[in-house]
Copies of this chain bind each other. A is one copy, B any other.
Amino acid sequence: MITFKEAYAKVLEHTVDYGTEQVSLKDAVGRVLAVDVKSDRDFPPFNRATKDGIALSFSAIKNGQDSFKIEAVIPAGNPTIELKETTSCVEIMTGAVVPNSTDVVVMYEDISIENGIAKLQKVPTQGQNIHLKGSDEVKGAVVLHKNTLITAAEIGVLSAVGSAEVLVKKLPKITTIATGNELVEVTEVPLPHQIRKSNINSLCAALLEEHIVAKSLHLKDSKEAIKEALEVALQNNDVLLLSGGVSKGKFDFLPVVLEELGVEKVFHKVLQRPGKPFWFGIHKKTNTVIFSFPGNPASTFANYHIYFKDWLTESLELPVTANLVVLNENVENKGTLTLFLRVKITFENGKLIANRIKENGSGDLTSLANCDGFIKVAPNQNTYLKGDTIPFIKTRRVL
């Protein structure tokens, strides 16, 4: 059996580049940018008024002038108008092009207007309320870098530079597969010895947050049926996420069947809890990656977040971040397994505090809804003390 550290490293050795695809701007949210995006013009594209008021030449103020004839009005969206006389002014609106013959904008709040003459109430500063052409970005500058996650702010920038279509990283095609005769549909009333499918629904929901619409499959414990279905699934998917059927049981056909189908086992079983019987492999012929998780709810859920999430993040060339949180109580792990303990995160004075929650083993489904993630407790350790930091793997959005 390999250590958690070894298993994690092996999973991340098998990231895959799924190439790129063009999507429309509105479909780009949550996707990863596949190219540097450059501005097609200066940002802002002209000297832009940032206040409503008047534009004038500062030289006139230096000459002691404080009243200015209004020559014209420049709304946003109109070509600009130059001053006829440097001793005059124009009314100008926020977002309009500041005339080249002017170099200061005074807002309405700081002037009075009577009979077409604007009078200053206070002395302005040269250049004020003008957002200078190219001061944010110059034409041709990279405004968004390749491998950036596209959120609302990036959509704003993409819009501004005219990216109606965006080149993004392709996402893997995924099928989630539940195994086990004990499983029935959510709509069914289970017999006493049956339970409803929950793991693959949970996985599909988690994948949806990654903008991946996964398919689902349920395989009964028949070796032939499993083999037939997996053969097709390997052809049609980039990733298979399986739940159950990988332990020591008499009907745990997955490891054998996967190898019969030519899937190369990278490892089976990891010194960790929950999630020990995790089987990981790759099918070189179809370039399919197989995450075969043990079927206990906490095992599937933990391993998805511990391994698959970082594997996906690295496959998309986003940065994998290791986050530390502060322990709210002493924790020890004298055993040989890396432990993943459920915690709820609270915020205290800018610190992330990990509070352990009541949990009842690998099968405990409801505690997963009460936690924000897992702390990773390394094996063979002295006690971690309250106040120490410890690695944290989130299972929901924390901040």
Counting CB contacts under 8 A, is A82 at the interface? no
Counting CB contacts under 8 A, is A397 at the interface? yes
Q: Is the CB of A76 within 8 A of B181?
A: yes
Counting CB contacts under 8 A, is A312 at the interface? no
Counting CB contacts under 8 A, is A340 at the interface? no
Q: Report the 10 A-B pairs with minimum CB-CB distance, sorted nearest first.
A: A77-B181, A77-B182, A156-B202, A152-B206, A159-B198, A52-B249, A155-B205, A326-B350, A76-B182, A93-B249
Q: Is the CB of A50 within 8 A of B363?
A: yes
Counting CB contacts under 8 A, is A329 at the interface? no
Q: Can you tell how many copies of this chain the complex includes?
A: 2
Q: Is the CB of B156 within 8 A of A362?
A: no
Counting CB contacts under 8 A, is A140 at the interface? no
A131 cross-chain contacts in B, Cβ below 8 A: 360-361, 363-364
Given contacts A135-B360, A144-B369, A187-B164, contact A159 B44 (CB under 8 A): no
Distance, CA A140 to CA B224, complexed state (A) = 40
Counting CB contacts under 8 A, is A125 at the interface? no
Partner of A324, one of B152, B182, B324, B349: B349
Q: How far is the CB of A66 from chain B (nearest CB, A)?
A: 20
- Within 33-52 of A, Cβ neighbours of B (below 8 Å) are at 41, 43-46, 48, 50-52
Q: Is the CB of A365 within 8 A of B157?
A: yes
A205 cross-chain contacts in B, Cβ below 8 A: 26, 29, 151-152, 155-156
Q: Is the CB of B196 within 8 A of A162?
A: yes
Partner of A183, one of B77, B186, B195, B252: B77
Encode contact with B along A191-232: 1 for CB under 8 Å, 0 otherwise: 111111111011111101100000000000100000000000
Q: How far is the CB of A93 from chain B (nearest CB, A)?
A: 4
Distance, CA A360 to CA B134, complexed state (A) = 11
The chain B residue with its CB closest to the CB of A80 is: B193
Q: Is the CB of B202 within 8 A of A395?
A: no
Given A46-B192, A153-B395, 14 additional A-B pairs, CB 8 A: A29-B205, A51-B248, A75-B181, A76-B251, A79-B191, A151-B209, A156-B202, A159-B186, A160-B196, A160-B365, A164-B186, A347-B352, A349-B389, A398-B399
Q: Is the CB of A29 within 8 A of B209?
A: yes
- Within 13-40 of A, Cβ neighbours of B (below 8 Å) are at 25-26, 29-30
The chain B residue with its CB closest to the CB of A300 is: B156
Counting CB contacts under 8 A, is A335 at the interface? no
Distance, CA A373 to CA B365, complexed state (A) = 34
- Within 176-190 of A, Cβ neighbours of B (below 8 Å) are at 180-183, 186-190
15 A-B residue contacts at CB 8 Å? Answer: A45-B190, A45-B195, A52-B248, A76-B249, A93-B249, A97-B192, A136-B360, A151-B206, A151-B209, A156-B365, A159-B201, A162-B186, A164-B186, A323-B399, A399-B399
A347 cross-chain contacts in B, Cβ below 8 A: 321, 323-324, 352
A394 cross-chain contacts in B, Cβ below 8 A: 399
Encode contact with B along A137-176: 1 for CB under 8 Å, 0 otherwise: 1000001100010011111111111111000000000000
Given contacts A53-B248, A107-B248, contact A193 B153 (CB under 8 A): no
The chain B residue with its CB closest to the CB of A28 is: B205
Q: Is the CB of B369 within 8 A of A204?
A: no
A326 cross-chain contacts in B, Cβ below 8 A: 349-350
A109 cross-chain contacts in B, Cβ below 8 A: 248
Distance, CA A107 to CA B277, complexed state (A) = 13
Counting CB contacts under 8 A, is A257 at the interface? no
Counting CB contacts under 8 A, is A247 at the interface? yes
Counting CB contacts under 8 A, is A366 at the interface? yes
Distance, CA A353 to CA B323, complexed state (A) = 13
Counting CB contacts under 8 A, is A297 at the interface? yes
